[in-house]
Every structure is written in structure tokens, then in C-alpha cells.
Amino acid sequence: MERTLVIVKPDAVNRDLVGEIVHRFERKGLKIAAMKMQVLKPYALKEHYAQHKDKGFYEELIKYMSSIPCILMALEGKDCVNVVRKMVGSTLGREAEPGTIRGDYSVSNQANLVHASDSSEKAEEEINRFFGKEELHQYNKMNFDWIYSSDEKCIERKKK
């Protein structure tokens, strides 16, 4: 099964939206493989946001993301990267579709509540940046059989 990194950002923590956001991912059927609260270090954030280093908002982004603790999660599921990005919505909260996390709770481009990896490769890189191996859990979820068809589970088995 695919994994993705989700960061519940400082604005969501300050606005008491952590439970709401985690709840949505759980209800969708995604598995929480890892979860912790941490103040993110500027050096890790600089690496994480390297693609934005020439943008005008970069310095402020690093300051905001390291200002108070974030919630970090590694989620797992079939096509998890895509599923989570759809649930999160587009970057600018004002334009994000209603029904998405940003569309329902954000009106900002910076304070957009959640980060979600944008590809499977990036997800693995980001998960390894923020989590140690010992923090990533492998366990059987009892509701797995009610979340996926046997076909979907077979496809996943063949891929491994």
C-alpha cells in the first residue's frame, strides 16, 4: 500500500482543527502508520520546502511552520497520495473546493492547514525526513476487509 506524509500545520493546531482533520482521514479509511507532535526545525523545513527557496514567501513560510508544534502523520492506503491530496484541496484556501479540508476551513495561501506529499516518491522522501524507522508502525487493521474489495487487495499483493 502507498504511504503519504501529512503535516497538520500551526494554523490548524491554533484553530483547534487537529481532531477534525485527523477524523476525516480516519473516516475515509486511511491507516495511520505514524503520528507525532513536534516543533519542526528550520533546517528540516528548508530541505522540505527547497523548491520554494526563490519565492518571496519562503522565509516567512519557514518561520510560520517552525513557530509552534505541528502534527505529523504517515498515512497508508491504496493510491493514498492522490486520495489525500483530493481531500486536502488546492493550495489557496479561498479557491479550494467546498468539501475539502482547505475549502471548508481556510481562506489563505500560507495558512492552508495541511501539507500533503505530491507524489509517491516525494512521500517516501518526506516520511524519512520527519520520521525514524522505529516510529513507522506495521500492523493489521481489523476493518481492512470492509474498506477494500478482494480485487484491490490482490492488486496490492501482486505489486509487492
Contacting residues toward ligand CMP, per CB under 6 A: 52, 57, 61, 91, 109-110, 112, 115
- The residue among 23 and 53 lying less far from ligand CMP, judged by its C-beta, is 53
Q: How far is the CB of 37 from ligand CMP (least distance, A)?
A: 18
- How far apart (Å, rounded) are the C-alpha atoms in residues 158 and 6? 27
- The residue among 15 and 153 lying less far from ligand CMP, judged by its C-beta, is 15
Q: How far is the CB of 22 from ligand CMP (least distance, A)?
A: 17
Question: Taking a C-beta distance cutoff of 8 angstroms, is the pair 46, 62 a contact?
Answer: yes
On whether 14 is known to bind a ligand per the annotation, the reply is: no
CB neighbourhood size of 77 (10 A): 22
- The residue among 35 and 147 lying less far from ligand CMP, judged by its C-beta, is 35
Could you tell me which of 10, 11, 5, 4 has the C-alpha nearest to residue 38? 10
Q: Is 115 designated active site?
A: yes
Q: How far is the CB of 150 from ligand CMP (least distance, A)?
A: 35
- The residue among 6 and 33 lying less far from ligand CMP, judged by its C-beta, is 6
- How far apart (Å, rounded) are the C-alpha atoms in residues 125 and 146? 30
Catalytic residue among 23, 48, 115, 137: 115
What nine digits make up the cell of 88? Answer: 486536502
DSSP string, 32-92: EEEEEEEPPPHHHHHHHTGGGTTSTTHHHHHHHHTSS-EEEEEEEETTHHHHHHHHH--SS
Binding residues for ATP: 9, 57, 85, 91, 102, 112
Binding residues: 9, 57, 85, 91, 102, 112
Question: Annotated catalytic sites, by residue?
Answer: 115
